[in-house]
Each structure stands twice: as C-alpha cells, then as structure tokens.
C-alpha cells in the first residue's frame, strides 16, 4: 500500500511539473526576449522639500507617461530599472500611473493641497494662490486636503491611480499611439502630467516636506536588434 501510494504521489508530482509553463527563447530571429513586456517601475521623488519662498502658493508636476525623465525640474534621468529594460526594447508606453505621497507642513500656518492630472503643462497657468485653488476643479482631481500648522494635524497622505488610456478618452488611439509612447532615449512628444497646487494666505518660508512614490505600469515593445 505504501509503495502504491508513493507511486501515485510521484505520478501526481510529474503531472504537476509537466503543467508548469517553461519559457524558452532563442536568439534565432531576434527571439531573445518576448515581443513585448509589461512591468511596474517605481520612482521615489528625490525632491523631499517643495517650497516657493516669499509666495503664497507652490506648484509642481510629474510627467505621468515618461519613465525617461519623470520630473521636468530635475532633468537628471530615468526611473530605476528603466535602463535595464531599455537594453532589451526600443519603445515604451506608460499604461497607468499611481501616486502615493505623504506630506508634512513645515510652516507655522495651514496649507491646503490640490492634485489633478492634465493633458497639458500647467506651468504658465498655475501662477497664483487663486489658480492653485482652481486646480481642484479639474476632472479626476482629488478632494482638497488641508494640513494644519507645524505641530498640529500637519500630515496628510494622497493616493491616486490614473488609467492613462481612459484619461485621454481615446483608449485604442492611446495604446496604438507613437506620440504618447516614445523611444527609450527620450520623452513622448505628447506628455501627460500629474499636478500639485498648494496654497495658503501667508508668504511661504519653509514649505512642505514630502515622501513621494510613483509607480508606472509600462509596456515595452520593439525588441532591440542583435548586431553583435
């Protein structure tokens, strides 16, 4: 009985092994990598303080569909892991964007925060406390958050998720686009932004301390050519 049970167990294990998918690729015909690959790349914002000394508002933004250079102010490069995937593929398209941000008020007075996506750069539009307030009227904006002065209820957490194809209103066009996507050595020619507008009634001195994590769901396509 024990021998019979052992044989049945071995048979079940062998069947399980056979059902386990094995991915085998050959470099013949350029098949060293799948035709496309979807990965999540995480970007931790190195700018931990956001301020606009002497003014009553702060505006900053992140490029939602660029993993080559997500922060327009830094111009210092891409998201971790992007270089490695770029060695395999020539083109990328960001499918979704997730923001997880914790903010702490460093001022002795309250600060309110709005955040919203946009399909244009709002740098020349959000130029005052009033226009920072107006950011809360943009579709898909988060409810306005208020931080009390430093030492009170001065911390908030913002979490948002944007399906970029749905956001543009043209799902198929977005996924087939050569303007929302880009070659791995640059940004898309048509950029989408995640915007922040902070406002208060007193001139800023210290600003906001932040811990910001952004997750990009990225489709890599067009395998690199094997030339060696």
Q: What is the per-residue pLDDT across 213-225, written as a single tens digit (0 to 9) for each?
A: 999 999 999 988 7
CATH number of domain containing 161:
2.60.120.20
Whether residue 228 lies inside any domain: the answer is no
User: Rounded to the nearest 5°, which phi and psi values hold at 137?
Assistant: -90, -10
| Residue 33 binned pLDDT confidence (cut-offs 50, 70, 90) | confident
Q: How many domains does the chain have?
A: 1
Whether residue 31 lies inside any domain: the answer is no
Whether residue 168 lies inside any domain: the answer is yes
**Closest Cα to residue 69, out of 193, 155, 210?**
193
**Closest Cα to residue 67, out of 179, 188, 178?**
188
DSSP β-bridge partners for residue 77: none
Say what the pLDDT of residue 74 is: 74
The average pLDDT across 204-217 equals 97
Let me know the angle formed at the C-alpha of 26 by 22 and 27, rounded to the nearest 5 degrees.
Answer: 150
The average pLDDT across 125-140 equals 95
Q: Which of 2-11, 90-99, 112-121, 129-138 has the lowest mean pLDDT?
A: 2-11
Whether residue 23 lies inside any domain: the answer is no
Say what the pLDDT of residue 17 is: 46
Give the rounded percent of residues in the chain with a pLDDT score beyond 70.
Answer: 84
Whether residue 83 lies inside any domain: the answer is yes
Tell me how far apart the alpha carbons of residues 94 and 207 are, in angstroms, rounded to a whole number. 31
Whether residue 15 lies inside any domain: the answer is no
- The dihedral of CA 91, 96, 99, 100: what is its sign? negative
What pTM does this model have? 0.84
77: containing domain: 36-223
User: Rounded to the nearest 5°, which phi and psi values hold at 131?
Assistant: -70, -30
Whether residue 24 lies inside any domain: the answer is no
- The CA-atom distances, in angstroms, between 187 and each of 37, 41, 69, 162 are 19, 16, 7, 19
């Amino acid at each position: 009985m024990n021998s019979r049970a052992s044989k049945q167990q071995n048979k079940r294990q062998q069947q399980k092994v056979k059902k386990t998918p094995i991915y085998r690729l050959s470099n013949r015909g350029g098949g060293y990598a799948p035709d496309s690959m979807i990965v999540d790349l995480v970007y931790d914002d190195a700018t931990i303080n956001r301020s606009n000394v002497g003014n009553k508002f702060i505006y900053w933004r992140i490029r939602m569909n660029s993993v080559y250079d997500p922060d327009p102010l830094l111009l210092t490069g891409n998201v971790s892991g992007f270089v490695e995937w770029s060695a395999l593929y020539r083109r990328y398209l960001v499918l979704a964007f997730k923001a997880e941000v914790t903010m702490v008020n460093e001022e002795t007075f309250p600060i309110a925060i709005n955040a919203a996506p946009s399909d244009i750069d709002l740098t020349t539009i959000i130029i005052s406390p009033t226009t920072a307030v107006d950011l809360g009227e943009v579709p898909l904006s988060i409810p306005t958050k208020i931080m009390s002065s430093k030492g009170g209820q001065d911390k908030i957490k913002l979490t948002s998720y944007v399906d970029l194809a749905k956001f543009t209103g043209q799902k198929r066009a977005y996924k087939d686009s050569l303007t929302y996507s880009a070659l791995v050595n640059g940004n898309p020619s048509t950029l989408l932004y995640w915007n922040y507008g902070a406002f208060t009634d007193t001139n800023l001195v210290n600003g906001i301390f932040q811990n910001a994590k952004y997750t990009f769901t990225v489709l890599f396509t067009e395998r690199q050519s094997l030339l060696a």
